[in-house]
Structure 1
Amino acid sequence: MTVPDQRLRPRKRPGQQRAIETRQRLLDAAARVFSQYGYAAGTTNRIAEAAGHSIGSLYQYFPNKDAILVELATAHAQAGIAAIGRHLDGGPLPKSLEGKIRLFVRAAIDNHRDDPALHRVLFEQAPRPPELLEFLHAAEQRAVAAAGELLAADSQVTVTDIPMAARLVVTAIESLVHRFFAHGRPDDADRFEDELVAMLMRYLTPPP
């Protein structure tokens, strides 16, 4: 049964520093619990215990575990967007097309590397209310637009349909990186990065 959207909304955000720290401890504990136990066994009682708080304290900030999952998923998505932004604004991009593609692949990998088990819960088991879906869609649209500008300005790109290429590059990176870290072997991350970059390069630079 789908959880009504209002049940996914966190309680009012605290303003005092002590309350802010308590709320963050609950979120950090939830990430550990979901990573260890998965969605079904990641109960609010376990989260409260892991955070060192009572269940009543948890419910002051979050109505249920689904609201916590949505909060964690949103924070993960925001971190990925911020990482891409830092690469775009942090100085000149690599001159080669391969260097540019590798930069974005590595940014996605870095955002998934820390806790694959948690990411699997967040994006395969967590509910997605309309607000989160709209946020993710808008972020993807911005990434596609940025990729389109980069591809259009690079003389090495020989694929003809740049708008479609930009969309395929962005969605391929996000989808394949997520699947690799959720179900693959993190020890093979370097090999995976090389092969994904090579695959995208072959697509973007087909022979005439």
Structure 2
Amino acid sequence: MAPSDRRTAPRRRPRQVRAELTRERILTAAAHVFAEHGYAAGTTNRIAERARISIGSLYQYFPNKDAILAELAVQHIDRGQWTAAGDLDLAPGTLEATVRTFVEDAIGNHRDDPRLLRLMIEEAAVSQDVLAAIARHEKVRTAHVRDVLARHPDVDVGDLDVAAELVLFTVELNTHRFMAAARTVAVETFADELVAMVTRYLRGAG
């Protein structure tokens, strides 16, 4: 993600339902425009036309397309949710199935248009809102993963806190990059290899 400046701050935080709906129309339109035309050609005029609003109305909410893409990145980060720890089968012999649930959840959270995902990686500015979303995401999911690892009888690692961070980072980063790339490998093959790698690590030397 690119460095941030004041350009990424939204102009208006809606307080009324109608205003919030307009803001969401802008973001939805922008996602389509960026995916179809790329970032350079994804102008605010095109976004406003796709959202069926005037360019002046768009600028009431966002000062430019940098701020729009930054907000799309925040939504992407906040939208991802993993299966609740209580819903996982933690009986002996199910560690691979538990890891697969993590991997499949991550893949599901990254099934956005690959071109839009690439734009988020390459073009989205690291605004304060993006940094705050990342912090929320990491705190909640690291605690979630640690809870699962602490209760699973097949896990054998030296430090649960470090292990939770490693699992989260490994699954999320690799999935994000894989899903954003022009793929020559099937998603199922990627998932199988990632599950196998993480499972081997969590089982330890034993």
Q: TM-score, normalised by structure 2?
A: 0.88
Counterpart for residue 120 of structure 1: 118
* RMSD (CA atoms): 2.1
1:92 equivalent to 2:87? Answer: yes
Q: Identify which of structures 1 and 2 has the higher relative contact order when contacts are C-alpha pairs closer than 8 Å and 6+ apart.
A: 2
Contact 2:11 2:61 in 1 (8 A): yes
The alpha carbon displacement at 1:29 in A equals 0.6
> 2: CA distance between counterparts of 1:15 and 1:147?
35
Contact 1:48 1:55 in 2 (8 A): yes
Indicate the SS of the match to 2:103. helix
> 2: CA distance between counterparts of 1:18 and 1:148?
41
> 1: CA distance between counterparts of 2:108 and 2:184?
11
Residue identity over aligned pairs, in percent, reads 49
- Paired residues for 1:14-163 under 5 Å: 14-80=14-80, 83-84=81-82, 87-88=83-84, 92-95=87-90, 96-163=94-161
Indicate the SS of the match to 1:172. helix
> 2: CA distance between counterparts of 1:17 and 1:138?
25
Question: Displaced runs of 4+ in structure 1, greater than 6 A?
Answer: none
Deviates more, 1:36-45 or 1:25-34: 36-45
The alpha carbon displacement at 1:194 in A equals 1.2
The alpha carbon displacement at 1:2 in A equals 5.0
> 2: CA distance between counterparts of 1:23 and 1:131?
16
Q: Structure 1's 156 and 112: CA in aligned 2 closer, same or farther, altered over 3 A?
A: same
Indicate the SS of the match to 1:35. helix
Counterpart for residue 4 of structure 1: 5
The alpha carbon displacement at 1:107 in A equals 1.0
Per-residue deviation, residues 10-56 of structure 1 (Å, max 9, x unmatched): 12233444333222211111001111222222211111122222211
Q: TM-score, normalised by structure 1?
A: 0.88
Q: Structure 1's 114 and 135: CA in aligned 2 closer, same or farther, altered over 3 A?
A: closer
Contact 1:113 1:186 in 2 (8 A): no
